[in-house]
Chains A and B, each alone.
Chain A
Amino acid sequence: EAGVVQSPRYKIIEKKQPVAFWCNPISGHNTLYWYLQNLGQGPELLIRYENEEAVDDSQLPKDRFSAERLKGVDSTLKIQPAELGDSAVYLCASSLGGGGAHSTDTQYFGPGTRLTVL
C-alpha cells in the first residue's frame, strides 16, 4: 500500500515568489494534516482537514498561506509571497479519521517538501 505522497521533494525560490506543495494521502484516510518542521525541531501543525473541511487552521498564517482540499482527497498548500523565514520542511500527514473530535488516530507522514527561500 502506498504511503503519503508529496511533491516536489525540494523547492528553491527567491523571496516574494509564490510556491505550492501537493499531497496525496493514504487511500481511505479522511483526515489530512499539514505541518511545518524547522531544522532541529519537531513538526508544528499548520492545518487539519476532515474530508474537505478545514477544522483547525488556527496556526496557519493566513496573510500569506492558504490551503485547499477540494474533493476531500489531495491537498495543496500555497505560500504567496514567500519570505526568508519560510525556509523549512513542509510535511503532510494523514489518518483514518471518522472517530470524532476525541479520536487519537495514528498519523502517517509523507517525506516532506524542503523549501529554501533565497
Chain B
Amino acid sequence: GQNIDQPTEMTATEGAIVQINCTYQTSGFNGLFWYQQHAGEAPTFLSYNVLDGLEEKGRFSSFLSRSKGYSYLLLKELQMKDSASYLCAVSAFSGGYNKLIFGAGTRLAVHP
C-alpha cells in the first residue's frame, strides 16, 4: 500500500529557517511534489523532485532521498505569509496511470 507521513503541526519565528519532513512508503514511485495551501484556498505547486538531491528555488528548497523514502521542504527567511499547510505528495504508478498520493499536510504557524 501507500503511506505518507509528515508532522501535523510546526511553529517557527519570522526570519528563521524551518524544515518540514516527509517519509513515504510506496510502490511505483515516480517523483515527489510539495504544495502550499493557505486556509480556504487552492493548493499551489512549490516543487517537484524525482532524482536524489536538493532543488533550490528562492527561499524554498526541497530534498529527496529515494533509497530512504525521505524528503524535506526547507523554508528560509520565514515570513508571516508562509503560515499555511504544506502538503507532501508522492506520484506513484498504479492502475495504469501515475497518481498523486497526498500526505495529511503540515500546518506551519509563523510567529513574529
Q: Which A residues have a C-beta under 8 Å from some C-beta of B?
A: 3-4, 40-45, 48, 55-56, 58, 91, 101-104, 106-112, 114
Contact = CB atoms under 8 A, between A and B. Distances in A.
Given A91-B43, A111-B41, A44 B95 contact: no
Given A4-B42, A106-B45, A106-B48, A44 B102 contact: yes
Nearest to A31: B97
A107 B98 contact: no
The B contact surface, by secondary structure, is: strand
B112 interface: no
Interface residues of B, number: 27
Most buried by B among A43, A55, A108, A114: A43
A58 B43 CA distance: 23
Nearest to B50: A104
Contact of B100 (A40, A45, A114): A45
A114 B40 CA distance: 9
A102 B93 contact: yes
Given A55-B97, A56-B95, A104-B31, A43 B42 contact: no
Interface in B85-99: 87, 89, 91, 93, 95-99
7 closest A-B pairs by beta carbon, nearest first, are A42-B102, A109-B42, A111-B42, A109-B43, A104-B91, A104-B31, A101-B97
